[in-house]
Amino acid sequence: MTWPVLQRWGCFSAVRVLPLCLAVGFGPLPACAEELGVMTARVDGAPMEWRLYAFDRSGGQIATAAFRQDQWLAELQLQGHVEPDFSSADVMSLTVRFPGWYAPGVAPMSVDILYVPERLGGPFWTSRGARQGPSVEIVRFDVMGRMGEIDLAFAGKLCRKAYLSAPVDLGNCVEVLGRVVSRVVME
Protein backbone atom coordinates (compact mmCIF):
# COMPACT_ATOMS: atom_id res chain seq x y z
CA MET A 1 0.00 0.00 0.00
CA THR A 2 1.41 3.37 -0.96
CA TRP A 3 0.89 6.82 0.48
CA PRO A 4 -1.01 8.09 -2.65
CA VAL A 5 -3.58 5.34 -2.05
CA LEU A 6 -4.03 6.55 1.52
CA GLN A 7 -4.30 10.15 0.32
CA ARG A 8 -7.15 9.14 -1.99
CA TRP A 9 -9.10 7.97 1.08
CA GLY A 10 -8.78 11.44 2.61
CA CYS A 11 -6.63 12.82 5.37
CA PHE A 12 -8.74 11.57 8.28
CA SER A 13 -8.95 8.01 6.93
CA ALA A 14 -5.24 7.98 6.15
CA VAL A 15 -4.44 8.94 9.72
CA ARG A 16 -6.72 6.17 10.99
CA VAL A 17 -5.29 3.47 8.71
CA LEU A 18 -1.62 4.39 8.70
CA PRO A 19 -0.80 2.91 12.16
CA LEU A 20 -2.48 -0.33 11.12
CA CYS A 21 -0.55 -0.41 7.85
CA LEU A 22 2.69 0.26 9.66
CA ALA A 23 2.10 -2.64 11.99
CA VAL A 24 0.87 -5.14 9.42
CA GLY A 25 2.17 -4.24 6.01
CA PHE A 26 5.93 -4.17 6.15
CA GLY A 27 6.96 -7.80 5.95
CA PRO A 28 7.27 -10.70 8.37
CA LEU A 29 7.73 -10.33 12.08
CA PRO A 30 11.36 -10.26 13.21
CA ALA A 31 12.59 -12.99 15.51
CA CYS A 32 13.04 -10.48 18.35
CA ALA A 33 9.30 -9.78 18.78
CA GLU A 34 8.06 -9.58 22.34
CA GLU A 35 4.48 -10.38 23.31
CA LEU A 36 3.05 -7.54 25.41
CA GLY A 37 -0.40 -8.84 26.24
CA VAL A 38 -3.71 -10.22 25.11
CA MET A 39 -6.99 -8.83 23.76
CA THR A 40 -10.09 -11.00 24.05
CA ALA A 41 -13.56 -10.23 22.74
CA ARG A 42 -16.88 -11.61 21.69
CA VAL A 43 -17.73 -10.40 18.20
CA ASP A 44 -21.38 -11.13 17.43
CA GLY A 45 -21.23 -13.69 20.25
CA ALA A 46 -18.19 -15.55 18.90
CA PRO A 47 -15.18 -15.67 21.27
CA MET A 48 -11.93 -14.38 19.77
CA GLU A 49 -8.38 -13.67 20.96
CA TRP A 50 -5.52 -11.52 19.68
CA ARG A 51 -1.99 -10.77 20.92
CA LEU A 52 -0.19 -7.43 21.21
CA TYR A 53 3.51 -7.18 20.31
CA ALA A 54 6.59 -4.96 20.28
CA PHE A 55 9.58 -5.50 18.05
CA ASP A 56 12.65 -3.65 16.84
CA ARG A 57 12.93 -2.42 13.28
CA SER A 58 15.57 -0.25 11.73
CA GLY A 59 14.78 3.23 12.93
CA GLY A 60 13.22 2.18 16.24
CA GLN A 61 10.67 0.04 17.97
CA ILE A 62 7.17 -0.70 16.68
CA ALA A 63 4.54 -1.62 19.24
CA THR A 64 0.94 -2.68 18.71
CA ALA A 65 0.19 -1.47 22.25
CA ALA A 66 1.30 2.15 22.57
CA PHE A 67 0.42 5.31 24.47
CA ARG A 68 1.50 8.81 23.50
CA GLN A 69 0.54 12.17 24.89
CA ASP A 70 1.29 15.85 24.73
CA GLN A 71 -0.44 18.90 26.14
CA TRP A 72 -3.32 18.65 23.60
CA LEU A 73 -3.98 14.94 23.21
CA ALA A 74 -3.37 11.60 24.89
CA GLU A 75 -3.85 8.56 22.64
CA LEU A 76 -3.89 4.85 23.42
CA GLN A 77 -3.57 2.55 20.39
CA LEU A 78 -4.05 -1.20 20.77
CA GLN A 79 -3.87 -3.54 17.75
CA GLY A 80 -4.34 -7.23 18.35
CA HIS A 81 -3.09 -9.86 15.89
CA VAL A 82 -4.01 -13.56 15.85
CA GLU A 83 -0.60 -14.66 14.59
CA PRO A 84 2.76 -13.00 15.21
CA ASP A 85 3.33 -12.53 11.48
CA PHE A 86 1.49 -9.20 11.22
CA SER A 87 -0.60 -10.20 8.27
CA SER A 88 -3.48 -7.82 7.69
CA ALA A 89 -6.04 -10.56 8.33
CA ASP A 90 -7.92 -10.90 11.62
CA VAL A 91 -6.82 -7.67 13.30
CA MET A 92 -8.74 -5.90 16.07
CA SER A 93 -7.81 -2.27 16.67
CA LEU A 94 -8.90 -0.03 19.54
CA THR A 95 -7.98 3.67 19.70
CA VAL A 96 -8.88 5.81 22.72
CA ARG A 97 -8.24 9.57 22.77
CA PHE A 98 -8.33 11.94 25.74
CA PRO A 99 -8.19 15.74 25.67
CA GLY A 100 -4.88 17.04 27.02
CA TRP A 101 -2.99 15.02 29.60
CA TYR A 102 -4.47 11.65 30.60
CA ALA A 103 -5.83 11.43 34.14
CA PRO A 104 -7.65 8.49 35.76
CA GLY A 105 -11.41 8.91 35.63
CA VAL A 106 -11.40 11.38 32.73
CA ALA A 107 -13.85 10.37 30.02
CA PRO A 108 -12.31 9.80 26.58
CA MET A 109 -13.19 12.30 23.86
CA SER A 110 -13.32 9.46 21.31
CA VAL A 111 -13.17 5.68 21.11
CA ASP A 112 -12.77 3.85 17.80
CA ILE A 113 -12.94 0.11 17.25
CA LEU A 114 -11.96 -1.43 13.92
CA TYR A 115 -12.11 -5.14 13.14
CA VAL A 116 -10.41 -6.42 9.97
CA PRO A 117 -11.46 -10.09 9.64
CA GLU A 118 -9.94 -10.64 6.21
CA ARG A 119 -7.42 -8.28 4.61
CA LEU A 120 -7.02 -4.55 4.00
CA GLY A 121 -9.22 -4.92 0.90
CA GLY A 122 -12.24 -5.42 3.15
CA PRO A 123 -14.73 -5.91 4.47
CA PHE A 124 -14.22 -3.92 7.66
CA TRP A 125 -16.30 -3.67 10.81
CA THR A 126 -16.12 -0.27 12.49
CA SER A 127 -17.66 1.59 15.39
CA ARG A 128 -17.38 4.85 13.41
CA GLY A 129 -20.82 5.90 12.27
CA ALA A 130 -22.70 3.30 14.33
CA ARG A 131 -25.86 4.64 15.95
CA GLN A 132 -24.51 3.73 19.39
CA GLY A 133 -20.96 4.87 20.11
CA PRO A 134 -18.42 2.52 21.70
CA SER A 135 -17.36 2.71 25.32
CA VAL A 136 -14.21 1.90 27.24
CA GLU A 137 -13.55 1.47 30.94
CA ILE A 138 -9.94 1.65 32.07
CA VAL A 139 -9.79 -0.58 35.12
CA ARG A 140 -6.07 -0.02 35.70
CA PHE A 141 -3.38 1.99 33.90
CA ASP A 142 0.02 2.12 35.60
CA VAL A 143 3.01 3.88 34.07
CA MET A 144 6.58 2.94 34.96
CA GLY A 145 8.98 4.97 32.83
CA ARG A 146 8.89 3.84 29.18
CA MET A 147 6.41 1.01 29.85
CA GLY A 148 2.93 0.92 31.27
CA GLU A 149 0.40 -1.75 32.12
CA ILE A 150 -3.25 -1.54 31.22
CA ASP A 151 -6.41 -3.48 31.98
CA LEU A 152 -9.46 -2.18 30.17
CA ALA A 153 -12.87 -3.28 28.96
CA PHE A 154 -14.51 -2.11 25.73
CA ALA A 155 -17.90 -2.51 24.10
CA GLY A 156 -19.77 -1.22 21.11
CA LYS A 157 -21.54 -1.84 17.85
CA LEU A 158 -19.45 -2.58 14.77
CA CYS A 159 -21.05 -1.89 11.41
CA ARG A 160 -19.85 -3.31 8.10
CA LYS A 161 -18.02 -1.34 5.44
CA ALA A 162 -17.42 -3.17 2.16
CA TYR A 163 -14.09 -1.36 1.76
CA LEU A 164 -12.36 1.34 3.75
CA SER A 165 -13.82 4.41 2.03
CA ALA A 166 -17.31 2.87 1.64
CA PRO A 167 -20.21 4.19 3.70
CA VAL A 168 -21.10 2.33 6.88
CA ASP A 169 -23.95 -0.17 6.46
CA LEU A 170 -26.13 0.65 9.48
CA GLY A 171 -28.36 -2.33 8.66
CA ASN A 172 -25.47 -4.76 9.16
CA CYS A 173 -24.02 -4.30 12.65
CA VAL A 174 -22.76 -6.69 15.33
CA GLU A 175 -21.94 -6.25 18.99
CA VAL A 176 -18.43 -6.45 20.39
CA LEU A 177 -17.53 -6.84 24.05
CA GLY A 178 -13.88 -7.21 24.98
CA ARG A 179 -10.99 -6.81 27.36
CA VAL A 180 -7.30 -5.93 27.01
CA VAL A 181 -4.65 -6.82 29.57
CA SER A 182 -1.25 -5.75 28.32
CA ARG A 183 1.96 -3.89 28.81
CA VAL A 184 2.01 -0.65 26.82
CA VAL A 185 4.98 1.14 25.26
CA MET A 186 5.03 4.81 26.27
CA GLU A 187 6.02 6.83 23.18
**16 φ, ψ (degrees, to nearest 5):** -75, -35
Q: pTM score, two decimals?
A: 0.81
Helical (H) or strand (E) element with 179:
strand 169-186
Boundaries of every domain in the chain: 3-186
Percent of the chain beyond pLDDT 70? 80
Alpha helices (H) in the chain, listed in sequence order: 3-8, 11-24
173: Cβ–Cβ under 8 A, 6 or more apart, which residues?
130, 131, 157, 158, 159, 160
Give the chain's radius of gyration (CA, Å).
16
Q: What is the pLDDT of residues 128-157, one digit of tens each?
A: 999 999 999 999 999 888 999 999 999 999
Q: Is the pLDDT of residue 68 over 50?
A: yes
* Span 92-106, pLDDT tens digits: 999 999 998 898 988
